[in-house]
Amino acid sequence: MSAKLSLFNQIYANHHQMVMQLCLGFVNGDRSRAKDLSQEVFINTWNSLERFKGQSSHKTWLYRITVNICLKSLRDTKQTRSVSLDAEQRVEHLLTDDSTSHAAEAALGALYASIGQLNEVDRLIIMMVLDEADYAQIADVMGISEGNIRVRIHRIKQTLKKLMQNEHAN
């Protein structure tokens, strides 16, 4: 097995779940679109593996690639994102994953719907928080100061809390 293939397999095994979660958050929980974006991220990763200079961790590098792919997708499609998942998508989403309870899936769907109402940058930041990235890593990926990240995360959490309360009220 070539060194490139071995390294790629290791990166994929260690980080494919993180990439998928970030993509899911970006596309409001649409698993099909998230899989497509995730696949594009790893194609891009494979194609740029020789150019990786090691100036950051593989995880930070993948965050950057994922952020760029997700933002590019948004620009390319220029579609208006729906505020929440429609009933058909929620049912399909519930039927595709038997590993968790329906209540947990409904809560997750509501969370993704609320995250989907955030602007693109806030969506990506909160998905990195949910993936347990530290503030320094998020600041590095987003290209803004760690102090600014702390403030933004606090505001995003407040906004999500309000959105989730409104979701439950409706």
Cα angle vertex 19, ends 84, 5, to 5°? 150
Please write the tens of the pLDDT for every residue from 34-45: 899 999 999 999
The fold of 3-169 is Butyryl-CoA Dehydrogenase, subunit A; domain 3 (1.20.140)
What pLDDT was estimated at residue 169?
63
Phi, psi of 85 (to 5 degrees): -70, 135
- What is the model's pTM? 0.58
In angstroms, rounded to a whole number, what is the distance separating the alpha carbons of residues 107 and 155?
21
pLDDT in tens, 70-106: 878 876 665 444 433 444 444 444 444 444 455 666 6
Alpha helices in 49-145 (DSSP H): 58-77, 87-96, 102-115, 120-130, 135-142
Rounded Cα–Cα distance for residues 68 and 6 (Å):
25
DSSP label of 100: S
